Amino acid sequence: MDLFVDVLADSVIDTLKLIPFLFVTYLAMEALEHFASNKVKEAVERAGTAGPVVGALLGALPQCGFSAMAATLFSGRVVTAGTLVAVILSTSDEMIPVFVAHQEPVGRMLSIIAIKVVLGIVAGLLLDLALRLLHRAGDGHAHIHELCEREHCHCEEADELDEDEGHVENDGHSDGHDHHEHGHHHGHSHSHHGAWGIVRSACVHTAQVTAFIFLISLLFGLIIEGLGVDSIRSVLAYHPVRATFVAALVGLIPNCGASVAIAELFLDGTLATGPMLAGLLSSGGVGLLVLWRTNADARQNVYVTLLVYGVAVLAGLAACALGILL
């Protein structure tokens, strides 16, 4: 019972930390969709070519909120697939606090972060380039409204109230402004109802994703605690190649316990550099979890997940082959 209570408490705390990131992201996306001019939207969408660079640098900060944010923005087609992959690969999650707690040399920690950032940038840029060459990069426009349609946030109802109110105020006549639509009546009104509709929609999206993250985090937390670090250590200790594949799989677990376990096993000498890099590269916080929750295209989700895992494994195997020690 104590084990369940501890895991439950950790899951609640980890999930609560993500709420501000999720809410701000959804709020910004809704505001962009409702109020932003075409020029502003085009500027955001054009920034996608440099997205992997910016994304990898942001992902290196000691938190997992940016990976959740990147996954949400990708689901709305605001950022590219390469940007999402770059953020996930560079996300440090709980590695930095563990290294600091063990009073490890700063240079050692920064070396690992730098490798993650560089690999994130390279993988993200190459992915975006490949998708453009294959004409699979999308239409180049944000599709934030699709999130609303899938989540049934009903934010269009507020916009319809805006339109009705506008007609009443003008005695049934047009107010002279065109109402932009994007497929499900998202108007661009600046009235009180429009602002409330944006906030309400952001709250609905945040609540839905938060509940999903909490349940999955609780499940995987119980699994990790049930297996125990000793069991994980016995699987990873004696065969670096096998350890690389397994560590990358452990890193995919959408729970901070994965990166903590990998960092701890590396610092106590159980994991070599290669398996450690593989595990920490694939350990992108809850980014992949949010992706699977918010992006309707399951095939895209599979491709992104496999790509993250593949890059992590290849990097780990390369470190083993080259005899890199950190």
Q: What percent of the chain has pLDDT over 70?
A: 71
Tens-place pLDDT, residues 111-128: 999 999 999 999 999 999
pLDDT digits (tens, 9 = 90+) for 166-198: 444 444 444 444 444 443 444 444 444 567 877
Q: Which amino acid belongs to residue 220?
A: F
Report the candidate in 10, 25, 18, 90 with the shortest Cα–Cα distance to residue 283.
90
Lowest-confidence segment of 64-78, 127-141, 150-164 by average pLDDT: 150-164
Model confidence at 145, in pLDDT bands (50, 70, 90)? Answer: low
pLDDT in tens, 299-313: 999 999 999 999 999
CB within 8 Å of 190: residues ≥ 6 apart: 35
Tokens of 282: 């694939």
Provide the sign of the torsion angle of the four alpha carbons 93, 95, 98, 99, taken in this order.
Answer: negative
Kindly report the number of other CB atoms within 10 A of residue 288's CB atom: 23
CB 265 within 8 A of CB 271: yes
Angle among Cα 109, 222, 112 to the nearest 5 degrees reads 10
Average pLDDT taken over every residue of the chain: 77
Nearby residues of 169 by Cβ (< 8 Å), 6 or more positions away: 175
Cα–Cα distance for residue pair 192/275, rounded to 1 Å: 54
Q: What is the mean pLDDT of residues 131-147?
A: 64
Burial track 291-303 (b if 16+ CB lie within 10 A, e otherwise): bbbbbeeeebbee
**Taking Cα atoms as reference points, which of 193, 200, 265 lies closest to residue 236?**
265
Domain ranges of the chain: 2-141+185-321
